[in-house]
Amino acid sequence: MITATGPAGARGPDTPEPKPSGPEHFQYSEPVISKVTDYIYVGNLNAAYNGLNLIPYVPDALGDGPALKQRCFEDINECIDASTEKRKRVLVHCRDGFSLAPTCIIQYLMVKQNMRLIAAYELLRSKYPVNIRECHQNVLVSLERALRPGGNVDPELVLKVPI
């Protein structure tokens, strides 16, 4: 939805207030989108609904916590790779934009760009507000351990990441 604004963002008398979009159980929020890398963007559901989709392909809906399976990550990574190889931008989004989408981007950076969990998290956090749920944190910690077997991960350090 495009709304007209006046000086300093003031709304004119005829300008309607924005209405929630999507299912009623989603709280309305403005579109949130940020550039993470040259081709990867992160955002919320309203960024996608407001025509800010950067590619047409959307993997199947993902579950939370234990339902967030490795196969979901593989599908996401294939989608991101296919887009970036063609120099096309990709928007990774979820409902609020603060947990699941950042989790997907962090795991992509860990798997495809060989970044450590903390480095990937710090990169994303420097460009976008994140609030990763505990169940998603656990998925990322497990991935870090799987990618670096043999004691290369200090469990105390990883578990204290303020995600």
Question: Each residue of 119-152: pLDDT tens digit?
Answer: 999 999 999 989 999 989 999 999 999 998 865 5
Spatial distance between the Cα atoms of 56 and 152, rounded to a whole number of angstroms: 39
**CA–CA distance, 95 with 26 (Å, rounded to integer):** 8
Cβ-count burial 131-153 (b if 16+ within 10 Å, e if not): ebeebbbebbbebbbebeeeeeb
The confidence score (pLDDT) of residue 110 equals: 97
Look up the CATH superfamily of 28-148.
Protein tyrosine phosphatase superfamily (3.90.190.10)
* 50 pLDDT higher than 90: no
Identify the pLDDT of residue 76: 92
153, amino acid identity: V
Domain ranges of the chain: 28-148
